[in-house]
Amino acid sequence: MHLIILILLVLAVIFGPQLWAQYTFRRYSQPSSSIPGTGGELAQHLLERFAMSGVKVEEAGQQGDHYDPTRKVVCLSTRNYQDNSLTAIAVAAHEVGHAIQHHRKEAMLALRTRLAMLALLAQKLGAAAMLAMPLVIFISRAPSSALLMATIGFAALFIGTLVHLITLPVEIDASFGKALPILMQGNYIQKQDEAAVRQILRAAALTYLAASLSSLLNLWYWLRLLRR
């Protein structure tokens, strides 16, 4: 019984933030007559306002909302690009917040981008090491070979976890250090919508929380295995 409760708690902690974020986005996704433009139009306006002429806005379809620092593109899902809802403009401002971080060469985003590229390479090496482990052990007959392969896999997992942990403060800054002040001080939203926009921006910032918690759980699991 205790094991079942523990499993349910772990699942709630990992998947709860993602489900809450999706619910929040849907809740405020209805078009509003008080919002004069779409998310795509607001994003383009903000890029011009902050003199980021090298950055573009794209309708990303099913790829989801994100900022691509390698291409310098603010990517918005079809709904957030075309709609004039609170969710659309809040998410657009959040992604422009990442563009501002990149434009200003802020250290945390730069570190996250470098680590993300390293993590991609490390994941490929880690997967190859895990696949090769049985063959290497069979050929070498040496326990140290298994330890080496496991260490490579663990290092790849650690780098991935580090990327997720660094992502959290980057996302929070994009929401509350950039997007919210822009929307409030620029009078892009009405005062009575502030609470709703805060919820949407919080949801946008916590989108990666589930991945961070899942990575930590995987890291803890492998640490326990290596200690045995």
Note the pLDDT of residue 114. 80
95 is catalytic: yes
- Among residues 227, 226, 211, 214, which one has the least CA distance to residue 153? 226
Closest Cα to residue 190, out of 32, 26, 25?
32
Residue-range domain boundaries for the chain: 2-227
CB atoms within 10 A of CB 32: 16
Residue 124 reports pLDDT greater than 80: no
Catalytic residue among 59, 95, 106, 194: 95
pTM over 0.85: no
> Of 29-33, 84-88, 120-124, 194-198, which gets the smallest average pLDDT?
120-124
pLDDT over 70 at 60, yes or no: yes
Which residues sit opposite 43 in a β-bridge?
A: none
Least confident of 16-25, 128-137, 189-198: 128-137
User: Is residue 65 classed exposed, middle or buried when 0-12, 13-18 and 19+ CB atoms within 10 A define those classes?
Assistant: buried
pLDDT tens-digit series, residues 65-78: 999 999 999 999 99
Query: Sign of the C-alpha dihedral, residues 13, 19, 24, 27?
Result: negative
